[in-house]
Amino acid sequence: MSVLPPSFLGKKVFLDGGNERHYVLKYEELSGDRKVHALLFDQETPVIFAVLDYHGRFLDSFYLSNKTTAESSEATERYKEIAERKKQHKVTQDDLKDALRPKEEAKMKNKKIMKLLVDEHLEDIKHQWPSRLIALQNADGKSDQSLILTSLEEALKQANALKAFKYLLHHRLDTYIPLLAKYIQDQPQLIDEVPEYYLSFDQAKIVEQFLYLAVANVEIDNPDLIEKILHQAQKIDHVHYSSVLRQLLVKLFRRVKSETKDSTKEWLNKTVHDQSLRSSIVEILKKKA
């Protein structure tokens, strides 16, 4: 089974096996040959270029002050472009430290800190940049309710969901993927793209969570989209011998009863037309009866 492409943002690399002096990986880009090109930082300065494999092993590394290659130059230039853009954001080092805290513990001296964090997430999503905020969270974060992560959730509400999907993948923020199901009415491609990606890595659980939230947000009178959702559940059941389709039907039937005047049979006849899917649903209903 192939592994999910990694993200090492925020990885701390200690020198000589000690626990004191270390560098932090704050910039990375995937290479086409299953490698990661990365910049390691001393505070805010990139000092080492490294090539890692998908398991985080260093294949090559060198100090930027001692050596330059085409790959290290390209990575450094791309990082500089992002860093220059970040300078336009009025986020101080104190703000970044505060962003690691949950709201109830944050000092919030900068009254606009949440807006600034949301705006930075949105810009990173738009340009698909490696996020310094996520690198900071990965390196030093102790709370999953930090301002960084709560502002990320707010940014996902405003961002283009397809771009957000790719951004979350690049940063290995897989637990946030199901939240994108809230936006399938505007971005129905997600019903195909999310399962296609994760099932190719045999990661069915994330797809299941995505589909559960999808049936709660899809319009009950949108037969094409509902049929696609149910078809994805059917595929998971066939491979994993699970009961995702049955669970989705239970959720949908509850919505049919509360939101429409149709019986579940009438609604099914209007909604599901694929014969294979209809047969699977009939079998489920027979067992239930």
Q: What is the pLDDT of residues 87-114, one digit of tens each?
A: 887 788 999 999 999 999 999 999 999 9
Torsion, Cα 92 163 229 246, to 10 degrees, reads -30
DSSP code per residue over 47-113: EEEEEEETTS-EEEEEETTT---HHHHHHHHHHHHHHHHHTTS---HHHHHHTTSBTTT----STTH
> Which of 9-18, 154-163, 216-225, 256-265 shows the lowest mean pLDDT across its residues?
9-18
Mean local confidence (pLDDT), 146-150: 98
The DSSP code for 18 is: -
> For the whole model, what pTM was predicted?
0.93
pLDDT reading at 21 higher than 90: no
Task: Output the pLDDT for position 184.
Answer: 95
Query: Buried b / exposed e across 182-221, counting CB within 10 Å, b at 16+?
Result: ebbeebbebbebbbebbbeeebbebbbbbbbbbbeebebe
Confidence tier at 16 by pLDDT (50, 70, 90): low
Report how far residue 234's alpha carbon sits from residue 12's, in angstroms, rounded to the nearest whole number.
42
Task: Output the pLDDT for position 19.
Answer: 65
Q: What angle do CA 228, 234, 239 make, to 5 degrees?
A: 135
Confidence tier at 252 by pLDDT (50, 70, 90): very high
Mean local confidence (pLDDT), 74-84: 95
Domain ranges of the chain: 1-69, 89-171, 173-289
Q: What is the pLDDT of residues 175-208, one digit of tens each?
A: 999 999 999 999 999 999 999 999 999 999 999 9
E runs forming strands in the chain: 12-14, 22-31, 35-42, 45-53, 58-63
Confidence tier at 14 by pLDDT (50, 70, 90): confident
Report how far residue 231's alpha carbon sits from residue 147's, in angstroms, rounded to the nearest whole number.
38
Helix (H) and strand (E) counts in the chain: 12, 5
Tell me the average pLDDT of the chain.
94
pLDDT reading at 17 higher than 70: no
Contact 40, 46 (CB under 8 A): yes
Q: How far is CA 184 from CA 168, 189, 191, 219, in A?
A: 16, 8, 7, 10
Q: What percent of the chain has pLDDT over 90?
A: 87
pLDDT reading at 3 higher than 90: no
Neighbours of 121 (CB within 10 A): 25
Q: Higher-confidence residue: 11 or 287? A: 11
Partnered with residue 48 across adjacent β-strands are 40, 63
Task: Output the pLDDT for position 224.
Answer: 96
Question: For residue 197, which of 228, 174, 229 has the smallest C-alpha distance?
Answer: 174
Contact 219, 258 (CB under 8 A): no
Task: Output the pLDDT for position 289.
Answer: 55
